[in-house]
Structures are given as structure tokens and as C-alpha cells.
Amino acid sequence: MNERRKIVVTGASSGIGRATALRFAADGWDVCVNARRKERLQELVRTFPSGDHLVCAGDYSDPLVVEEIGKHLRERWGRVDALVNSAGVSQSSDVVDSSLEDWRKPFDTMFGGGVRMTRLCVPLMRHGGRIIHVTSIHADRAEAGSSSYAMAKAALNQYCRGLAVELAPRGILVNGIAPGFIDTEMSIGPDGTSELETKWFRDNYVAGHHLPLRRAGRPEEIAGVAAFLAGPDATYLTGQVITVDGGLTITF
């Protein structure tokens, strides 16, 4: 009987993280899900096929939360085969007038949390382990109010490259996924309106020429790329950031 593989997925309560957790559970992995909303995680795990799944709720940028996750992983599993770091926070901050603390929050949460989870999981990985960071096309593009978010994603891209070099001797492969417009809760603004349903999106990306596939992506389409990167067909792929954006970044 084959030994079941084990994966940690952060940001699993919604969006890309949730779809990724569902995909790996369906593929026969044991899944440890992390996010701040425990009730959502418990509801999600109840939909999984049977397995040795774990719910580890909490803010993954908090050292105490990460320490507790590590305790559960060591006691219950003893190893980790893959990490998908999908947790994210969307916050608009003026590049000059916002407080430095507010402006740094997305960086400290997404990049800092990603570093903490990576440092937790690597010692538990065998030869052939996989690390996948979900970044964004924002990493090398500029948008007013989004500089701190973009900075965090750019840092994750470079972190993937550095990790790929340093972990190669241990047989651990590291890659990133940079989504474009994806239909998730992060697309919904403070007023409750999804940017994907606005006239601006329809004019520029559905009727216009900026998005060749003329639609937003689905979380499941990002989860599929994560499954590929963690699977047997990606054994010679490391240090790469794969853009999954419906062609958005190839156009003028």
C-alpha cells in the first residue's frame, strides 16, 4: 500500500487556498489546512474524502501560531511532503501618507508568514519535497494604492528563486504561481461589489483587448497548477514563477 502524501495549505478558508486544499484531498493527500477562520476550515475538512487531515487555525504570520502548527505536524504526521503558501491579505495604503506600520502590513503578513511556514516545513521534508508560493502578477506591475501588496508578492517571487538554489542539495523543489484576475472573495471591495462585475472590468477585460481569454480565472485553475508542481511531472522544475492570468500580461 502506498504511503499517503502530506501537504500544508495556508489561506485554506477561501479562494485559491480552499480550492487547492480540496484538489489535494481529492487526489488522495492528507491535508493540513491553515487560516484564521477555524469554523470555515472545519466545514471544509468535513467535505474531504477520509484521511488524516488536520485543522490548524490562526494567523500564520504569528510566531506562536506557527509554533503550534509545527507541534501538531510533528506529533501527528512526523513529516511534510509539500507546502502551498496561499494566504493573502488585500489592503490599500498610500505609498507616502499612510503610516509605515499600515503600509508594511501586507509585507509582514504575506512574506513574513511565508518565511515562517517555509522554515517550519523544510526540516520536516524528505528528498523530493515541494514548496509552492502563490504570488501575483502585481509582483512586477504597479497600481495606485497597491505598492505594499506588490512588494510582498515580489519578495515571494525572489524568495522562491533563493530557496530553489539553497534547497536543491536537499532535493526540495521551490516554485511560485502568479495569478491574474481570479474570482475569489479578494475581488470584492468594501462596498460589497466584485470588481469582476463592474463596468470597468467588462469594458477593459471582457469587451476590450487586455485579457485574451476575456474572463476571470477560477480558483480551481490555480489549484490545478499547484497539483502539477507538487506532482511527478515537475521533477525538473524549480526556481520558476508560473504566470496564470488568461494572457493578461502578454498584451499592451
Tens digits of residue pLDDT in 230-244: 999 999 999 999 999
What DSSP string runs through the chain? Answer: -PPPPEEEEESTTSHHHHHHHHHHHHTT-EEEEE-S-HHHHHHHHHTSPSS--EE--S-TTSHHHHHHHHHHHHHHTS--SEEEE---------TTTS-HHHHHHHIIIIIHHHHHHHHHHGGG--TT-EEEEE--GGGG---TT-HHHHHHHHHHHHHHHHHHHHHGGGT-EEEEEEE-SB-SGGGB-TTS-BGGGSHHHIIIIISSSS-TT-S-B-HHHHHHHHHHHTSTT-TT--S-EEEESTTGGG--
State the pLDDT at residue 89.
Answer: 78
Task: Let me know: does 186 contact 16? Beta carbons within 8 Å.
Answer: no
Contact at 8 Å (CB) between 89 and 105?
yes
Q: What is the pLDDT of residues 62-94, one digit of tens each?
A: 999 999 999 999 999 999 999 999 988 777 778
For the domain covering 6-189+217-250, report its CATH number. 3.40.50.720
Checking if the pLDDT of 192 tops 90, the result is: no
Q: For the segment 99-130, what is each residue's pLDDT rounded down to a tens digit?
A: 888 888 888 889 999 999 999 999 999 999 99
Query: Which one of 149, 159, 205, 236 is the catalytic residue?
Result: 149
Please state, for a pLDDT cut of 70, what percent of the chain lies above it.
Answer: 99
* Residue ranges covered by each domain of the chain: 6-189+217-250
Beta-ladder partners of 84 = 9, 132
Tell me whether residue 236 is one of the annotated catalytic residues.
no
Q: What is the largest CA-CA distance in the chain?
A: 59
What pLDDT score does 93 carry?
77
